[in-house]
Amino acid sequence: MAKKRSKKRTHAGANNPANAAAINGHANSKDPKSMVIRIGAGEVGSSISQLAADVRRVMEPGTATRLKERKGNRLRDYVTMCGPLGVTHLLLFSRSESGNTNLRLAVAPRGPTFHFRVEKYSLTKDVRRAQRHPKGGGKEYITPPLLVMNNFSSPSADANSKVPRHLESLTTTAFQSLFPPINPQTTPLKSIRRVLLLNREQSDDGTFIVNFRHYAITTKSVGLSKPLRRLNAAEKMLKSKKGKKGGLPNLGKLKDISEFMIGGEDGEGYMTDGTSGSEPDTDAEVEVLEETAKRVHSGKLRAAKQDSDEDEEGGNDNVERRAVKLIELGPRMRLRMSKVEEGICSGKVMWHEYVHKSKEEIRELEKRWEQRKKEKEARKKEQKENVEKKRKAKAGNKKGGAEGEADDDEMDVDEYDSDLYDDDGFDSEGLEGDAEGEVNARMEEDGGWEDEEDEIAQGKPSKRKSLKR
C-alpha cells in the first residue's frame, strides 16, 4: 500500500520559521508593496516581458511575483485592486507606437506618476553571460535590497531651474518609499544581501537621467592563504546538511598536509592574497564580530581563562577581517524622465522635459482642472443621492410585504474615479457599453437559456459561440 502523502511546504510539519522577522528584520504589514505590470501584455514583445520579469525579481519579496497579465486587463483593473491588496507602487512597462520602451512609476492610490523612457537596457541573462563567475539563485531575494541613491539633489537647483528643486525632492521620496526603511540598530547584517544603485547623471541641459544597477553583496575572509581558505570552506561544507564530496581538496598525490599548505615540497607554489592573482580588496575590508556560542565552564577553567585574558594586551579573537565585494545581478537600465503628472497616469502635468508653458497658459489649465473637479464632485453627490433614494424605496417595499430585488445600486457610485481613465467603452467580452447585458436579456426572453440548460444537462456542448473582439 502506498504511503500517504504529507504536505510539508505549506502545512503543519513544514520547516517554516515561526516569525518571518527573524529572517529579514523587515516583516511588517506596513511595508511597501509593488506590482510590476506590462501594459498591453501581448504587444510589448519578449524582451520587454523579460525585462519586466527581471525588475519584478529586483523588487522581491514585497511584490506580486506570480502576477499574470491578460490582454483584456486595463490600468483601472490594477488600480482597483491596489487598496484591497495593500499595493503602494505600480511599475508599468509599455511600448509606444514608434517602438520606444517606457516605464511609469506610479504611487498608489493618488499619484504622482513619473514617466521614464528606457533608452538602454540589459537583461539579467545578458549580464550573467558576460561574467566569468555569475552569482544568483540563492537566498539573496528573501530580503529587500539596500537602496543607494546618488546625485538626486543638486546644490545649485532652485524653483526656476530646468529641473526644479521640488521635483528632485519628490523623485527622491518616491524612490525611497519603494522599500521598507532600515533601522541600523535592529536590522541584522545578514539580511542585507543586495544593493540597488540609482545614480543620476549630472547634466546642465535639463535632462534627468537615472542609471539603474542591481548588485549582490558577497564577503570573504582576508589575511589567509588560498589553501587555508579552501580547507575552511571544505570544513563548513562537511558540517552543513548538504555536504558535497567534490568540495574537498584532492590530497591523494601529496605525502603530507604541509605540502598542500606551503605549495609543494620546496614551497614554490605557496599563494597568498597578493600572489594569487586576484584583485586586492584592501579598500573594502571591514571587521566583523563573529557570534559564537558560549560554553559553561567550571570555576577553575573560568579563573584560568580570566588570568590569560588579563595577560593579553587587549584584542578580540572573534573579530574577523572580511573583504566586501559586489557582483552585478542585473538588469541594467538607463532611464530618462520625460514627464511628471498628478494622479495615476492621468492628471495635471507638473513637469515636462520638452513642453514648456507660459504663466497665462498655466493659469488657464488651472481653471480647467478646477472646473473638472467641481463637476466630478457634483456628479458623485448626485450618484450618492440616487443610491439613498433607491435604498429608502426598497426599505418601503419590504415593509409593505413586497419582494425586494437584488441590491446592485452600490456599483452606481464612482469610487475609483472612472473619469480619469480613457477607456474605449468595451467590456471584457468585446461588446461596447451595456451590449452584453442586452444580449443576455434577449436570450432570456426568447428562451435561449432554457435550451442551453437542457443541452448542458445532457452533456452536449453549447451552441452559443464565443464572442470575439
| Residues paired with residue 321 on neighbouring β-strands, in sequence order | 287
C-alpha cell read off for 245: 564530496
Alpha helical stretches, state H, 209-292: 226-239, 257-262
In the three-class reduction of DSSP (H, G, I as helix; E, B as strand; rest coil), residue 243 is classed as coil
Structure-model confidence comparison of residues 249 and 459, the more confident one:
249
- In tens, the pLDDT along 309-330 reads 555 545 555 667 778 889 999 8
pLDDT at 220: 77
* Winning range, highest mean pLDDT, from 104-113, 248-257, 368-377: 104-113
Does pLDDT of 407 surpass 50? Answer: no
Does pLDDT of 118 surpass 90? Answer: yes
- In tens, the pLDDT along 83-98 reads 999 999 999 999 988 8
Q: Which of 405, 339, 21 is nearest to 186 (CA)?
A: 21
Does pLDDT of 57 surpass 50? Answer: yes
Band (129; pLDDT cuts 50, 70, 90): very high
Say what the pTM is: 0.65
Bond before 331 cis per omega within 30 degrees: yes
Does pLDDT of 197 surpass 50? Answer: yes
Mean pLDDT of 12-32: 58
Number of H helices, E strands in the chain: 11, 11
Q: Which of 331, 329, 326 is nearest to 55 (CA)?
A: 331
C-alpha cell read off for 33: 508593496
Per cent of the chain over pLDDT 90 is 29
- Measured at the alpha carbon of residue 220, what is the angle toward residues 217 and 221, in degrees to the nearest 5? 150
| Residues paired with residue 214 on neighbouring β-strands, in sequence order | 196
Q: Is 377 exposed, middle or buried (0-12, 13-18, 19+ CB in 10 A)?
A: exposed
Q: 63: which DSSP letter?
A: B
Does pLDDT of 445 surpass 50? Answer: yes
Mean pLDDT of 252-264: 72
pLDDT at 331: 95
Band (259; pLDDT cuts 50, 70, 90): confident
pLDDT at 430: 39
Mean pLDDT of 416-428: 43
Q: Which of 121, 30, 99 is nearest to 336 (CA)?
A: 121
> What is the distance between the alpha carbons of residues 301 and 94, in angstroms, rounded to a whole number?
69
- In tens, the pLDDT along 345-374 reads 888 888 988 887 777 877 887 888 788 888
pLDDT at 27: 56
* Winning range, highest mean pLDDT, from 22-26, 161-165, 361-365: 161-165
Instruction: State the CB neighbour count (10 A cutoff) for residue 365.
Output: 13
SS3 labels along 31-59 = CCCEEEEECCCCCCCHHHHHHHHHHHHHC
> What is the distance between the alpha carbons of residues 330 and 336, in angstroms, rounded to a whole number?
18
Does pLDDT of 299 surpass 90? Answer: no
At 194, which amino acid appears? Answer: R
Four-CA torsion 86, 88, 93, 96, nearest 10 degrees: 110
